[in-house]
Amino acid sequence: MRHILHIDMNAFYASCEQSKDKSLKGKPVVVAGDPSKRHGIVLTASYEARKYGIKTGMPNWQARTLCNDAIFLKPDFDSYIQYSIKMINILKEFSPLVEQFSIDEAWVDVTGCEDLFGSPIEIAHKIQSRIKDSLDLPCSIGISENKLVAKMASELKKPLGITELPLEKIKDMIWPLDVENLIWIGSARSKKLKSFGINTIGDLANTPMTFLINLFGKPGKDIYYFANGIDLSPVRPYAITAKSFGNTITLPRDYTDIEDIKRGFLSLSEMVGSRMRKQNFMGKTVSITVKDNNFKSITRSRTIDYTVLTEDIFNAAMKLFKENYDTNFKIRMLGVSVSNLVKIDENIQLCLFQNAKYENLKKLNYAIDMIRDKYGFDSISRGLILTGEKIKQLAPLSGMKNFDPRPHSYFEFG
């Protein structure tokens, strides 16, 4: 029997802010986009703020009406990523089998670690205390025999909860829950299920698989397994398979100058290239998304030679922009992504021109990454970016944001 832990950081962004600034402890903290920069949505609310009914996705104006004393903070994604990295490193102290699910979630397989650290529940308490003592961050932990049920268990007690959920107790603890609480069942699927009288996870578990396949297609089989707590997938370090890497920037104002556009695309190319290098990927299809002040959006792509260089991504993005926009543009949003990916260690036929110059640039890119990992993303910047207004902070840097979230990316069934 396996022993799987799912660690879920509580109110992660807000907790990071309270960890950095102790004066925020015990206060209603809301991490939200800046309304003046067209980001007026709550990203995360501390548990003190949640008591007033403030929720993720709520407009800032509504959150303010619920709590006049709420402290609104702009997101600091670089700092959240650093906290996430430190959290994962703590988990690796207890087992080499750590699989990150998102910026604030991970599974740990502690099977066979009992002689070193104690029973699974003792290990959970040690991990929770270690994260609290080292990072001053709260987390909830679920314990079960597979990843799926461990994740559901971690949702049952928040904040700072530890829940052990053996498979034989699923009927008592999970089946009575609303069907929308099951992983991968969103509001649309929930509404559809409830129209057939399937209101709880137990109702879903007792629904014939053939009916669910007819209702949802191939995912119906997965949904049936989920409801019955069946998951045979192992905890796999580095298991997430990337389909693309991308970032977008909603600009602080409408950009009309080509130099400002260049800075925007270069900032985005830096982020995308850095994330590709960290995950050991290279790609050959560069895409841009551009939205103008009339909310007209276009997406264009270009295939280049396989690359991991910021410079190549930026050059391709600028060529796409110049080919598709005239000089009368007024831009409010930019996006860059790279797809058609392969692992860098795979045997890929590279362009003959990726010679010494390419290798030197590659070394430079990795050196920049190392400096940023140690001293922060802002510790080193290219000259073009430094000459313009700082826009990098407006782009979400969640490392998991652009990975394929479908069930088969993380769960396998026999």
Residues with catalytic roles: 105
Integer CA distances (angstroms), 371 to 260, 277, 278, 390, in order: 26, 14, 13, 19
C-alpha torsion angle, residues 273, 274, 276, 278 (rounded to 10): 160
Tokens representing 134 are 């080292």
Residue among 334, 311, 328 nearest 261 (CA): 334
* Buried/exposed 74-111: b ≥16 CB within 10 Å, e otherwise: ebbbebbbbbbeebbebbeebbebbbbbbbbbbbbbbe
Beta bridge partners of 71: 29
Going by their DSSP bridges, the two strands 71-73 and 29-32 should be labelled as parallel
Determine the Cα–Cα distance for residues 312 and 200; give it in Å rounded to an integer.
51
Determine the Cα–Cα distance for residues 162 and 156; give it in Å rounded to an integer.
9
Tokens representing 92 are 């690796």
Q: Which amino acid is at 125?
A: H
Q: Is 292 annotated as a binding residue?
A: no
Q: Is 8 annotated as a binding residue?
A: yes
Tokens representing 105 are 């979630």
Tokens representing 367 are 């050196």
Q: Which residues are annotated as a binding site for Mg(2+)?
A: 8, 104
Q: Which residues are annotated as a binding site?
A: 8, 104
